[in-house]
Amino acid sequence: MAGTVARVTQISARSETSFEDAVRTGVERASETLRNVSGAWVKEQKVETQDGRIVAWQVMLEITFVLD
């Protein structure tokens, strides 16, 4: 019987551009350390403001990677 086992880890990523960039940054960085990254779930989003303007976008990601 063949099967697959995966693990999920939670990371936070931040961007000064957009939510999309924060997600991309997080997935790319996780892929540098973790092998077999197969997906990510955006669990939470938040913005950082200063003087009434958005200055950063932050996401909490759950990264799924398949174990060897």
The pLDDT value recorded for residue 2 is 76
Three-class HEC string of the chain: CCCCCEEEEEEEEEECCCHHHHHHHHHHHHHHHCCCEEEEEEEEEEEEEECCEEEEEEEEEEEEEECC
The pLDDT value recorded for residue 1 is 57
Note whether 26 and 44 are within 8 A (CB): no
The pLDDT value recorded for residue 64 is 98
Query: CA torsion sign, 60 to 34 to 23 to 15?
Result: positive
pLDDT by position in tens, the chain (length 68): 578 999 999 999 999 999 999 999 999 999 999 999 999 999 999 999 999 999 999 999 999 999 99
Global pTM reads 0.89
